[in-house]
Amino acid sequence: MSTGPVWIGFDLGATKMLAKVFDDDFKELGSKRRRTKGHEGVEAGLERIVETIEAALKDAKIEKEQIAGIGLGCPGPLDLDKGILLNTPNLGWQNAPIRKELEKAFGCPAVIANDVDSGVYGEFRFGAAKGARCVLGVFPGTGIGGGCVYEGRILRGRRSSILEIGHMQVIPDGPLCGCGRRGCVEAVASRLAIASAALAAAYRGEAPHLRKTTELKLEEARSTALADSVAAGDKAVEAIVRQAARWIGVAVGNAVNLLGPDVVVLGGGLVEALPKLFLEEVSRSVEERVMPSFLGTFSVVAAKLGDDATVQGAAGWAREVIQGRA
């Protein structure tokens, strides 16, 4: 039981939500994870968020009154200043006033940030990029998310988050992307792009292990299934993953030429499932793409905090903002 001020970190995901309670040194005191159930609508969803935080407080044996602030990592697009989820396709929500609701429920300030930005900030404060001057984070998943912490602050747009590295073009007139443009790295190197290409290979008889484990169902071709397939010797799948990692490296290299980070952090399920292969290919490809004068000025590392990056980063960032340092 802690008697000092505590900070709440919250990660609002498409399928699950996670609340954690931290003391002022960011030691974890308690947590609660629940399913998100976005389809139940905004009102039920906000109530569910409040209840989840209450359950985490109970787990931590902490009173509401001890909360110094709440940080929320949320899927975009957001209105960062107003604290509103503008439109979250994965949840089906529109204009959810999440910050106001939480400030009302808990009587303390709340800060929202993009979920990827929160994760990058988490790695900067507590993880693989601790204390770096400039961190570029890249998280290949269903899409490819990016974020940048520059001299201690999350780089942001006027209203919402930026660093859309998944929408850097790597193939002129390439495959159609979910955003409506062509040749974005996300269209050819996200987990979804890799999974669908791998299933096509399996259909053609080039990936027998993957065929057996997924029965050619896209939903089954998760990161772990892809990693198992590579481990079992499905060479076609390995080649697809390597090619995707190289495209990611091109996008990262272009971004390094712009932002000059000290550390590039790669995270997400795919990187966790295939860390060696991913780090190796992305690093090589980045080194081939950056201007020679940038070589040796940055490192490419794997994220350390896994699923905790967003919740820790959201809490840490909220404290910086609330205490006026960011």
Query: Does residue 167 bind a copy of itself (CB under 8 A)?
Result: yes
CA pseudo-torsion sign 117, 121, 127, 129: positive
257 lines the binding site for a copy of itself (CB under 8 A): yes
Q: How far is the CB of 44 from a copy of itself (least distance, A)?
A: 27
Give min distance, CB of 298 to a copy of itself, in A: 9
Q: By the 8 A CB rule, do 123 and 129 touch?
A: yes
Site pattern 178..207 for a copy of itself (x: CB under 8 A): -xxx--------------------------
For residues 97 and 260, which CB has a smaller minimum distance to a copy of itself in the complex?
260
Binding flag, residue 155, a copy of itself (CB under 8 A): yes
- Sole window of 52-60, 92-100, 219-227, 258-266 interacting with a copy of itself (rule: CB under 8 A): 258-266
DSSP state of 74: E
Own/partner long-range contacts of 58-64 (Cβ < 8 Å, ≥24 apart): 58/30, 59/21, 59/30, 59/31, 59/32, 60/2, 60/6, 60/21, 60/29, 60/30, 60/31, 61/1, 61/29, 61/30, 62/1, 62/2, 62/6, 62/21, 62/29, 62/30, 64/106, 64/107
- Report in angstroms how near the CB of residue 169 gets to a copy of itself at its nearest: 6
Q: Which stretch binds a copy of itself (CB under 8 A): 6-14, 137-145, 291-299, 304-312?
A: 291-299
Q: Does 259 bind a copy of itself (CB under 8 A)?
A: yes
Question: Which of 52, 118, 229, 254 is in the footprint of a copy of itself by CB under 8 A?
Answer: 254
Residue 291 as a binder of a copy of itself (CB under 8 A): the answer is yes
Q: Is 173 in the site for a copy of itself (CB under 8 A)?
A: no
Q: Which is nearer to a copy of itself, 15 or 257 (CB)?
A: 257
Give, in order, the Cα–Cα distances in Å from 239 to each of 106, 161, 242, 262, 289: 51, 33, 5, 29, 20
Choose which of 146, 267, 268, 316 interacts with a copy of itself (CB under 8 A): 146
Stretch that binds a copy of itself, among 7-15, 44-52, 247-255, 313-321 (CB under 8 A): 247-255
CA quadruple 40, 43, 49, 52: dihedral sign: negative
User: DSSP letters along 195-249, please?
Assistant: HHHHHHHHHTTS-HHHHHHHTT-GGG--HHHHHHHHHTT-HHHHHHHHHHHHHHH
Q: Which two tokens stand for residue 194?
A: 């890799």
- Could you say which of 293, 296, 324, 325 contacts a copy of itself (CB under 8 A)? 293
The least CB distance from residue 71 to a copy of itself, in Å, is 21
Find the binder of a copy of itself among 14, 34, 100, 169 (CB under 8 A): 169
The candidate with the shortest Cα–Cα distance to 309, out of 2, 5, 20, is: 20
**Chain residues that interact with a copy of itself, rule: CB under 8 A:** 77, 133-134, 146, 148, 150, 155-160, 162-165, 167-172, 179-181, 250, 253-255, 257-260, 262, 288-294, 297
